Amino acid sequence: MTSNITNVIQGAGETGHAAGQVLDASGGLSTQAEALRKDVQKYLEDVKAA
C-alpha cells in the first residue's frame, strides 16, 4: 500500500513538471506567433504601399 501511495505521489510530481514544461513552451510559441503576426502585418502594409 505504501509503495502505491509513493508511486502516485511520484507520478503527480512528474505530471506537474511536464505541465510546467508545456506552459513554458506555449509561452515561447505565443511570443513567436506575435512576432510573426507583426512581421506579416508590416509586409502587407509595405506591399499595399508599393
For residue 20, what are the contacts with CB-CB under 8 A and spacing of at least 6? none
Q: So what's the pLDDT on residue 26?
A: 97
Q: So what's the pLDDT on residue 14?
A: 96
Three-class SS state of 1: coil
Q: So what's the pLDDT on residue 22?
A: 98
Q: So what's the pLDDT on residue 29?
A: 97
Secondary structure tally for the chain: helices H, strands E: 1, 0
Which three cell numbers, joined as nine digits, stand for 15? 505530471
Read off the pLDDT of residues 1-50 as tens digits, 9 standing for 90 and up: 788 899 999 999 999 999 999 999 999 999 999 999 999 999 999 999 98
